[in-house]
Structure formats: C-alpha cells, structure tokens
Structure 1
Amino acid sequence: MQASEIYVQNLEKHLAEENPLLVDVAKNFQEIDNVGHELGLIHPDQSTARQIPWWPLISILGLFSAGKSSFINHFLGQKIQRTGVQAVDDKFTVLCYSPDPEVKTLPGVALDVDPRFPFYQISREIDEEMEGEGKRINAYLQLKTCNSENLKGKIFIDSPGFDADAQRSATLRITKHIIEISDLVLIFFDARRPEPGAMRDTLEYLVKTTIDRYDSEKFIYVLNQIDVTAREDSLEEVVAAWRSALAERGLNVTHFYTIFSPDVELNAEDDYIKKRLEARRDRDLKEIHQRMRHVEVKRAYRILNTLELTTKELMDRSIPVLEKALRGWRNWTLRFDTLLFAALVGAGAFVGLTTGMWLNPMIDAMAVAALFIVMFIFHLIFSSIFKVIYRRSLAKKQRQMKLRFNLVKAFDKCANWHMFATGRIKGWNEKVRQQLENILNRADILIQRLNDEMTNPSGEVPKKPEEVKKVMAEVS
C-alpha cells in the first residue's frame, strides 16, 4: 500500500466522528491521486489531500508584547503560553487538543513529519531559504497539547515575538506559509506603539502580505492593551493613529478590534471611560471568539473548494498542457524520422540504380538492416532532442501557470512507445475524464448538503450523524 493511501485512510478515521461529510471528500481526493499517480503527475508517496490542512487553522501573529499569549490563555481557559513585556518565546507554537489534562510540549520534528499538521515538510522550505537550517527545525517550531474544550476540532498557531527573532529569513518563510493555509488570521498590534518607527521590518512584511488578497476577509486586526493607551488619549485618536500608520504602508484597515485582557483590572479615574472601554472590549472579544468558534464551517467550504479547484486544474489545465507537449514531441520526432527515412531510401535507390548493387539479394538484405539500424539510432537522437526542448517548455509553463502537478515528471513517464505509436496518453481516456467529472458533480452536491446542514433553509429538523453518513453513501 502506498504512503498516500495510508495517509487518506488515517485521515478518514479521524474525520469519521468529527465531520462525516468530509470523509467522502477525502475519498474523492484519493481518486484524483490515482489518476495523478498513473500519469506521473504526482509522486507515488504524495497525495493531493495533503495540500490543505483538514483541521480548522487559526493563526495569531504580531510583535512581541502585543498580548498574543494572554489572549490565547484567556480563550483556552488555561495558562498554556508564557506572557511578558519582552519576547518570551522564539518559536512558532502549534496548539492542539488532547484529552490528557497535562500540557505536553513536543519538538518541531513532530510537526515536520506528520502530514496531518500544517507544517508538514516545512524543513524543506526552510532549507530553500537558508541552506542547512532545515535540520534545525526544533529551533523554529514546537507542538503543545491542551485539553481545553475551546480547542477541540481546531488548531492554533502562536507566532514568536518577531522583533526578537534573529533568524529572520526562515521566520518570513514560515509566516508566509501560515498565512496561506490559515482559515482565520488574527494580527495583533500593541496599541501603546502606534508610531511608524515601532513597526520593524518583519511586521512590515507581515502587513504587506495581507494587502489586496483574494481572501482578505480572513484577517482580523486587533489593537490590544487599549486600556493603557486610552487613559492618555481618546479611543478614536488611538485607532486613527494606527490606521494612519498602516495606511502609510499601503494597508487600509476599515475595522480594528480594540481589546485588553479581561484578567486586568482597569484603573480609570473616570467611571464612564472605564465602563465604555470594558463594554467595547467585551463586544469585540465576543465577535472575535464567535469567528474563532465558527471557523470549522469555513474550513469545510475551503476543503470542498480545494477539491473542485484541484480537479479542474488536473482536467482542464494540467492534462491539456501535457497532451500538447506530448503531441509536439511525437509530431516533430515523426517529421524528422520521415525526412531521414526518405533521404536514406532515396540515397539507397540512387546508389542501387547507378551501381546495380540492389540486384544482389545479400547486399539488399544488408542495406535494409543498415537502414533500420540507422533509423533506430537517429530516432532515439531526435526523440531525445525534442524531449529536452519540451521538458524545458513544460517547466517554464508550470511556473507561469502555478500548477501543483509535476508536468515534467508526467512528460518523462508518458513520452513512451505507447504515446508514439497511438498518439494517446496511457492512463488518460474518456472513462477517466468522466471519473473526474463525477468528482466535480459530487463536490457541488456536497456543498449543497453543507448549505442545508448549516443554514437549514427548509426549517426541518437537522439530520443525525447516522443520517448524514447515509446521505454521503448515496452521493458516492
């Protein structure tokens, strides 16, 4: 059994109780894998199901002393993260649920080798940025377990204090990776430092990566510790100062959540100001917590959307480009084979007619044998030359089109005698195309089922888990 099949089977076991609907989605990804493996578009040990974390992912990013850890501790109801006015942690911390009441801390390699977590094989990306640093994965990542009910069914990522990070290049690469895969990104700012000079280059990078994104709705901008600043300035002035500071860097934030720790006693001389700040804090915290708790729904839609996009990319983009390259290789090789054959036959006929050697059966047999040997040798030469040309062209197109499937590897596998003789790719036919069409149809049905489950427009009693499983079996 291939590693990709084992991964999908393990995934199905974990999803069976948490979200029966997504179990069928995992099986659809496996069907895509089978097609990709057959064509060489995917390595046998790889799976398209690994391209997206299956558990809802919430990332909390920002400068040190912005109150990220205090926010996490309050939400989880446990002091799992250290807090302080200086940088107290220099690693990205992944928090996941465990029934064990004891908090356990595991090294970064636990995340790097487990495809169920969001940092699977991140050491390779770190190596690309800083050669040799991938071996030091434990210096960048750690995994903590927590038995908080608020952590069930989701994963948190707490970033280190960026200003204290000396290994900036790797941190930027990890941060970019986190932003891409997260369902919800909370960006914390220390409300006490609204001046532009307080934003170091790493945070500026963080801000720039959120500009003009297609998924901008997943970003939440939080002004934390507003209680300290608002004692000196009005709340509106603090928010305006931060909005101006970020606008200078091209990020126009229309809404800031303004909070401070509920565990902190607010000492305000004016009782009206105290109540006003506490009311706004409670309102904003409630909205943030609500979005955090509903992130599972968004993740389900993202997974279904990824299934649809992956299927379309394979069927409508990757395979047509691969087919065009294979036909080009075949046609050009045939043209040169034909020209060479015509030239050799013409030369042989001319020599035979002028010398009379073609009347000798022995010489004729040797000439035909020599003709085939020469043709075979030059066919291999022509084939190799055009393979090199089209491999380079495919590598360029793959980068330009940002395809996740490996067109070059697929070309190497499919540019064979079957393709040359028939003009068709082995493993790709109308039956396989219909199989992918069925996946698209099932994805649409699953989205409709998810809409019914989440919105219940008919007003009927929601289905029980057993009924949902039955529905999924009918869809399959």
Structure 2
Amino acid sequence: MPSAASVVQQRLKNLEEHLERENPILLRAVESFRELDQVAYDMFLLESDESYSNQIPWWPLIAVLGTFSAGKSTFINHYLGESLQRTGNQAVDDRFTVICYSGGESGQALPGVALDSDPRFPLYHISGSIEEVASGEGKRTDAYIQMQTCTSEHLRGRILVDSPGFDADAQRTAILRIVDHIIDLSDLVLVFFDARHPEPGAMRDTLKHLVAETIRRPDSGKFLYILNQIDAAGREDNPEDVVAAWQRALGEHGLTAGRFYTIYSPDVAVAIEDENIRRRFETKRDRDLTDIHARMQNVEIERAYRIVGAIEKTAKNIAEETVPLLSQALQRWRSRTLTVDAIVFVPLLVLFMLWSINTGQWHGLSYDPAWLQGLSTIKGAVPVLVVALVLAIGFVHFRIRRWAANGVLPWLRQRVQAEGIRGKVVEAFIANTRPLRSVLFASPIGWHSASQERINRVKLDCDTYIQKLNDQFTNPSGAAEVRKRATAAASAL
C-alpha cells in the first residue's frame, strides 16, 4: 500500500503533466508548492497526505450564486447552448452542481463523491467541512453536491458551479459553509437577483451575505452583480424604478461602485409590446451579456494570476502570520510553565536547604558533620531516593507543562478563528509542547534558517511567474511588433 507522502507526490506529478499541456508557465509553480509543503510538514502545519496545491482548483472556476428563481440555470443553459440545468419558478434543485467539460458524445451526471475525492476539482474533501457544522451530514455528500459533464465548447478549460437558490433565512449552516467555500475558490462570481420580485428590502439577510460580506474582500473585483429577468419589468409604467430599487438596496449594503448588470435570457423573454422600451432593453441586455461572457471567457487568465497569488499568499501567511502567532503561543506556554515551576520547586528547594542546615548543626563558623554518620546507615537507599525524587520532580513538571498548554489552547483557537489563519496551527502548537520538546526552545519546530530560505525562494519565484505571465499577455514596449515589421521588411527586400 503506497504511503501518504507517495500519494501526494503522485498527485503533484499528475498536476505537472496537466499543466505541461494546458499552461506550461505554471509548471514550475508545482515545485513552489512542494517547497511550501515541506516547510509545513516540518512544522506540523500539514498532515503527510495533504498539500497546499490541493487547496485550490487548478481549473478556472466560475460560481453562479443567487436567490431562488433568479434565472441562474436559464442563464447557464443559454451560455452553454444546451438545456443542461433544470429551470423553473420554484426551487428545482437543492444541490450544488459542478459543471465541467467532457469530450464524450453526451454529458453525464456523477455523484458527489466524484468531487469530494478528487483534489483536481473544487469541493475536494468538502464532506469534512459539512461534518464540522452539521454532525452526521458529512456522510450525505450526494445530498449537497453533484457533478454534471457537458459537451459545450464554451465550457472547455473552465468549470461552472450552479448553486441552489440562496435564502439566508432558511438555509442550513452546511449550505452556507459550501457557499463561502466556493466563493473563496472561485475566479469569477456571478451574483443573481430576480427583477420579478422588486422588494429587495425583504431579502435583507440575503443581501448581507452576498453583498455586504463580499465587497470588503481583497478580491471583490471578481464579483459581478446581476439583476436578471428584467424583461418582466418591461410592462411596468416606469421599468427604471425596478432597477433603481435594487440599486438603492445594494447601495445600502455598501455596493456603491462596480458594474451592476441588468439582463434577461433571449430564449424565454417576456414579450415587450412597447417598441421603444423593447429596443432599449435589448440593447442594454446585449451589451451586458457581452461583458459578462467576456469575463467568463477570460477567466483562464485570472486563474493563472490567482494561482501565483495563492502561492505567494501561502508563503507570506506562514512567515508573517502563522510563525508569529505560534511563537506567541509558545511564549505564553513557556512563561506559564516556568512561573508555576518556580512557585512549586523554589519553596521546596529552600525547605531542603533549611533542613540540611538544621540537620548539619551549624554553630557559628564551625560545622559538625556528625549527621553524615547517620546517613551512612541508609547509604544503600540514597540512589533509590534520588531516582524517586527526580521522577517525582519530572512528573510534576510535565503535569505543569500540560496544564499550561491546555490553558493557552482556548486563546490560540480564538486567535486562529478571528484572524482566519489557515493551517493546523493548533496541532503544531500541541506538537511543540510534547514532553520530549524542551520548554527552553524559542523557535517553533521546523522553523529555522533552511525553512526561512525556502519561503524566501518561493516569494522570489512568484515574482518570476508574474513576469512570465505579463510577457505572455502584455507587450507595453511593442518590441515584438517592431521585430515583426522589421522581419517582414527584410523578407520583402
């Protein structure tokens, strides 16, 4: 049976083969993940069967979120050019559907385990996250997620995630956990609202989760807010009021900048009798759909930069967040341990010295060693007493160490959660407080000059990756065009 480490290395090798075909520039990025993994293994921040490379999907990911009956599935079907997802005015599916390209003659529906067990796809090991927030639900992965393959060329090289209707008041905690997980992984997030229900105030919690809690993110530029099925407002006396109501609602939750799209599907559009309104709606719809589709088509570029960003962020998190927090926790543990050691053992040492002085019968500067003669009678028992004393001291000391560590753990867990620090920081702390680890060591296990050098090397490599990506997609100097024209001129001569 292969070891956990060999399984991880095989996965990385498979990933390298994939990148060699799809995006050779990112091929070396796998080696950077190996460097980060080794640092994390040495510090007990990762299990031997884990890798930072498994924490991001390597295919570009587009998430489609929104309220019930907001037209998400209809939008996806129109984009793919085939009726893949079920549509309807009511909730037609309560599972997340991961849609990916298939070279076969027809698409296939696959169970949730296909996603939960494959590190190449999003939602890898999502069953563990579900279990954390809903005990027993982790075994029911198929009730939450599914995979759907598709033959549409629009899907080649990218993955779509269609979410069930989002209603923050009624959704289970497990569903919200998956939503947040998908948002973190995605390169582009389309957030849909239903223009047929022009009462955005009634959706306060939904707006809070999909708008207020996303616009403050450092990657807020990947969110597109879409008011769908706006054709239903074409029959209103003042259709612009519907759009204005939603814009005000989003503004109340902090969305005062960025694009706000208004679209509807041409395939299921409501007939608009007023010619002027119809033409105006169609023009706006086509322009917005063109922009949205362009962002979806270019998501591969965003994914390449995001992978490099994830590498650099992981390296910085280890050096600038995890190590300082772990060092601070160990300092707290060390101070508590040494303080209690002093409180317990210093008085005992003083009592022992006083007893020795009293037994030794000091008289001024003259010392009567007669008490040594009494000790000679128990001379054979001295080694046993010394060993027993050392064992007793050791037992008390290690009990104090464990008590001190348990006292620091709640503080550490709270800091990890509050600061959103990833990695097994608590497990690493426990490893650093094991009995064979001296309380006098200042640095965490595995954090030394070699590991710091690995981190610095990864950071420098990330700059190189970005430069190569820039060279592929940009040409500020126009040098390539100059060379091309010069070559053409030389050929003409």
TM range (shorter): 0.7 to 0.9
Query: Does structure 1 residue 432 correspond to structure 2 residue 432?
Result: no
Question: What CA deviation, in whole Å up to 9, does each residue of 1:415-463 have, x standing for no partner?
Answer: 354544765555332122112111111112211221222213243559x
Q: Distance in 2 between matches of 1:427 and 1:282?
A: 56
Q: Structure 2 length as normaliser, TM-score?
A: 0.83
Aligned residue for 2:144?
Answer: 140
Query: Does structure 1 residue 339 correspond to structure 2 residue 346?
Result: yes
Cα distance, 1:407–1:64 mapped onto 2, change above 3 Å = closer
Q: Distance in 2 between matches of 1:220 and 1:271?
A: 29
Contact 1:69 1:83 (8 Å CA) reproduced: yes
Question: What CA deviation, in whole Å up to 9, does each residue of 1:275-302 have, x standing for no partner?
Answer: 3322222111111011111112222222
Structure 1: unaligned runs, 5 residues or longer:
463-476
Amino acid at match of 1:105: A
Q: Distance in 1 between matches of 2:394 and 2:270?
A: 87
RMSD: 3.1
- Please give the residue correspondences for 1:63-462 in structure 2 after superposition, counting only pairs within 5 Å: 63-162=67-166, 168-196=172-200, 199=203, 202=206, 205-248=209-252, 251-252=255-256, 255-264=259-268, 267-327=271-331, 329-330=333-334, 333=337, 336=341, 339=346, 342-343=349-350, 346-347=353-354, 349-350=356-357, 352-354=359-361, 356-358=370-372, 360=375, 362=379, 365=383, 368-415=386-433, 416-417=435-436, 419-420=438-439, 425-461=444-480
Deviation of 1:351 after TM superposition, in Å, equals 5.5
Question: What CA deviation, in whole Å up to 9, does each residue of 1:64-119 have, x standing for no partner?
Answer: 33222121112112211122233322221110111112110011222222222221
Cα distance, 1:111–1:265 mapped onto 2, change above 3 Å = closer
Structure 2: unaligned runs, 5 residues or longer:
362-368, 482-493
Deviation of 1:147 after TM superposition, in Å, equals 1.9
Q: Distance in 2 between matches of 1:254 and 1:87?
A: 29
Contact 1:105 1:143 (8 Å CA) reproduced: yes
Cα distance, 1:350–1:402 mapped onto 2, change above 3 Å = farther
Deviation of 1:40 after TM superposition, in Å, equals 1.2
Contact 1:168 1:202 (8 Å CA) reproduced: no
Q: Distance in 2 between matches of 1:187 and 1:294?
A: 18
Deviation of 1:264 after TM superposition, in Å, equals 4.5
Cα distance, 1:23–1:59 mapped onto 2, change above 3 Å = same
Deviation of 1:313 after TM superposition, in Å, equals 1.6
Question: What CA deviation, in whole Å up to 9, does each residue of 1:190-236 have, x standing for no partner?
Answer: 22221236648546643443343333221112222222312334553
Aligned residue for 1:469?
Answer: none
Amino acid at match of 2:478: G
- Please give the residue correspondences for 1:38-57 in structure 2 after superposition, counting only pairs within 5 Å: 38-57=42-61
Deviation of 1:146 after TM superposition, in Å, equals 0.8
Contact 2:69 2:165 (8 Å CA) reproduced: yes
Deviation of 1:165 after TM superposition, in Å, equals 10
Q: Structure 1 length as normaliser, TM-score?
A: 0.86
Q: Distance in 2 between matches of 1:53 and 1:147?
A: 21
| Equivalent position SS for 2:128 | helix
Q: Distance in 2 between matches of 1:114 and 1:452?
A: 33
Deviation of 1:348 after TM superposition, in Å, equals 5.9
Q: Distance in 1 between matches of 2:24 and 2:133?
A: 39
Aligned residue for 2:487?
Answer: none
State percent identity of aligned pairs. 47
